[in-house]
Chain A
Amino acid sequence: MVRATDREPGPLMVEQRSFEAFYAATYRPLVVQLLGVTGNLADAEDVVQEAFARAAVRWRQVSEYELPEAWVRRVAFNLAFSAARRSRRFLAALARVGPPAQVPGMSVDDLDLLAALGRLPQRYREVLVLHYLADLPVQEIAAELRVPQGTVSSRLSRGRAALGRVLDGGEEASHAGR
Chain B
Amino acid sequence: MPDDELTSRFDGLRERLTPLVEEPPVGAIERRGRRRQRARRAGAALAVAAVAGGAWMLATATGRGWPGGDLDQGPVAPPPTVPAPTPTPTTAPEPTRTSREPATSSTRPSPTTAPPTTTTTVWGLRILEPRAGTVVHPGQRVWMRAVGCPPGSQVRFEDGTALRAREDGSFTTTFEIPPGPTGDFFLDATCGGVTREVRLRREP
Contacts and interface: CB of A to CB of B under 8 A. Distances in A.
Interface string B170-184: 010101101111000
B3 interface: yes
A105 B154 CA distance: 52
Contacts of A56: 29-30, 33
Contact of B180 (A10, A105, A113): A10
Interface string A3-21: 1111111111101000110
Nearest to A12: B158
Interface residues of B, number: 52
Contact of A4 (B158, B171, B181, B195): B158
B155 interface: yes
B188 A4 contact: yes
Contact of B178 (A12, A32, A41): A12
B131 interface: no
Nearest to A60: B158
Given A105-B17, A106-B16, A164-B1, A3 B185 contact: no
B163 A2 contact: yes
Contacts of A133: 10, 13-14
B190 interface: yes
Contacts of B190: 1-3
Given A3-B188, A31-B21, A11 B37 contact: no
B24 interface: yes
Interface string B83-99: 00000000000000000
Contacts of A10: 178-180
A29 B13 contact: no
Interface of A: 1-13, 15, 19-20, 23-24, 27-29, 31-32, 35, 41, 45, 49-50, 52-57, 60, 103-107, 109-110, 113-114, 132-133, 160-161, 163-164, 167
